[in-house]
Amino acid sequence: MKDCTDNQVQTAINIPYFEGDFWSNIIEESIKELEQEEEERRKKEEVEAARIVEDGALDDPIEPDDPTDISDKRKSANTHKKKNLKKTASQRKIAKKQISNCSDLITKIFTTMEKHKEAFFVIRLRNPLITHPPVNDTDALIQCDLMDTRDSFLNFARDKHYEFSSLRRAKFSTMALLHELHSSTTDKFTYNCNHCRQQCDVRYHCTVCEDFDLCEKCYYQEKHEHKMERSVQQSLVDVSNDEHSANNPNGDKSLASPQLQRQQSMQRCIEALLHAVNCRNANCINRSCLRYKRVIQHTKDCKGKNSQCNICKQVIFLCWYHAKSCNEQNCQVPFCTNLKTKIQKQRATNHQMDRRRMFATMHQRSNTMQPVSSSSSSSLNPRVEPITNHQSVDSPSSGKPSITTTMGAPSHTTNRLP
């Protein structure tokens, strides 16, 4: 409210907001309410005018036949004069209505701001004309699904019970989210020991039993009846890192952060996968081409479920990473078409959930405003009202009851309801 007063906002068009904010919907709702009020007022005026015309027609006296009556020319002149006066009066009335509608709208918006002033926060953007020194960010850019959409972030925070209602919870939630952001690029496909149920990097796989693995500790403690082979878990990304280090023995790894190295390795894997898909040369000199061709063939011939096979998991993960930025309609990468369809459906579902959450928040706001209007009307007889978590009403002695409404977390805006 103070920011609008300082900037001398005269109309609703001058109120800035960003895409996805609640302000645009609140302004539209206010315009609809004003239009409904104007329609009801117009109907009442029409009924009142019709009643006045009927009363006037009944009260008109019968003119006597007198030779001294006004001539027909004067009567017609008076009639035209009255019509012109009615036209000018109607035009002035329309202009006054437009001015009053604008003033009513901005007054209604200012009233909403005053009621929810505790829930507002203002962001002042820098003047683009002022030159600022360039910002040197030492942190590398990382790819994280958590920050793709607003809905994915809210769902993750809700599932993990991350809250920001107090300082203690805000600190813990911030640290947990930072850990999730920096560990999101690590390989999430791991093996579990069938005996202790713990994740194992070094595993012993049974050559006879189906999907039976033991960690190094359980392998020496629990003697399995079949022959077991020792293997160290190594993903396609790790293999790509080994090949890249072999091709560049003099490369300085200290210059890049682990996140950047991981992202570059993922990009090299996707490039190798695209090469293997489009390559038709049986004697290709590319070292990774034959291996990726075998991996792709394995995904086609694998008899087990994709969720159980570790190789299929890694291939699906790479294909999903590629499908997020793929724009080709007839892409030859395995699972790309299906994954793109699922990603589009997920984004549409997230958009619908955002819309439903926004409408639910607005409905909740309208419900919380009803008891406040009743309490303000009965300010002469103050009484104690229960205060919920969504609104807090000051004591009637203050003269101006205030409301604090908790809304959903919005995106950045200049003036809005969070």
pLDDT in tens, 177-203: 888 887 765 545 566 788 887 777 777
Can you give the pLDDT at residue 200?
74
Instruction: Tell me whether residue 23 is exposed, middle or buried, using C-beta atoms within 10 angstroms of its C-beta: 0 to 12, 13 to 18, 19 or more.
Output: buried
Instruction: Tell me whether residue 268 is exposed, middle or buried, using C-beta atoms within 10 angstroms of its C-beta: 0 to 12, 13 to 18, 19 or more.
Output: middle
CA-closest candidate to residue 372, choices 385, 359, 363? 385
Q: How far is the C-alpha of 182 from the C-alpha of 175, rounded, in Å?
A: 11
Q: How far is the C-alpha of 413 from the C-alpha of 124, rounded, in Å?
A: 9
CA-closest candidate to residue 412, choices 83, 23, 104? 23
CA-closest candidate to residue 413, choices 5, 147, 129, 22? 22
Most confident of 2-6, 239-243, 346-350: 346-350
pLDDT band of 175, cuts 50, 70, 90 = very high
CA-closest candidate to residue 187, choices 232, 140, 151? 232
Strand ranges across the sheet with 202-206: 213-215, 202-206, 228-232
pTM of the predicted structure, to 2 decimals: 0.36
60 is written with which tokens?
Answer: 């008109």
**Does the pLDDT value for residue 57 go beyond 60?**
no
pLDDT band of 334, cuts 50, 70, 90 = confident
205 within 8 A of 231, measured Cβ to Cβ: yes
Q: How far is the C-alpha of 345 from the C-alpha of 323, rounded, in Å?
A: 13
Q: Tokens 């960690």 appear where?
A: 215
Instruction: Using the Cα atoms of residue 216, residue 220, residue 222 and residue 224 in order, give the sign of their dihedral.
Output: positive
Most confident of 33-42, 190-199, 254-263, 369-378: 33-42
Pairing of the two strands 228-232 and 213-215: unpaired
Q: How far is the C-alpha of 277 from the C-alpha of 233, rounded, in Å?
A: 25
Q: How far is the C-alpha of 132 from the C-alpha of 126, rounded, in Å?
A: 10
Which of residues 284 and 388 earns the better pLDDT score?
284
In tens, the pLDDT along 120-162 reads 666 666 676 667 778 888 876 666 777 777 777 888 888 889 9
Mean pLDDT in residue range 259-285: 78
Phi and psi, residue 64, nearest 5°:
-75, 155
Cα separations (Å) of 297 from 301, 333, 351?
A: 6, 12, 37
Alpha helices, DSSP H only, in 160-250?
167-182, 216-221, 236-247
DSSP reduced 3-state for 384? coil
Residues sharing a CB contact under 8 Å with residue 405, sequence separation 6 or more, in sequence order: 116, 119, 364, 365, 368, 390, 391, 417
Which run of H or of E encompasses 327?
none
Q: How far is the C-alpha of 10 from the C-alpha of 3, rounded, in Å?
A: 12
Number of residues that make up the chain: 418
403 within 8 A of 116, measured Cβ to Cβ: yes
CA-closest candidate to residue 417, choices 362, 366, 377? 362
Q: How far is the C-alpha of 77 from the C-alpha of 72, rounded, in Å?
A: 9
238 is written with which tokens?
Answer: 């790790």
Mean pLDDT in residue range 317-322: 82
Q: Using CA atoms in the order 357, 362, 363, 367, what is the torsion angle rounded to 10 degrees?
A: 140
CA-closest candidate to residue 275, choices 226, 228, 240? 240
Lowest mean per-residue pLDDT among 57-61, 68-72, 104-108, 407-411:
407-411
288 is written with which tokens?
Answer: 């990774």
pLDDT band of 174, cuts 50, 70, 90 = very high
Can you give the pLDDT at residue 47?
83
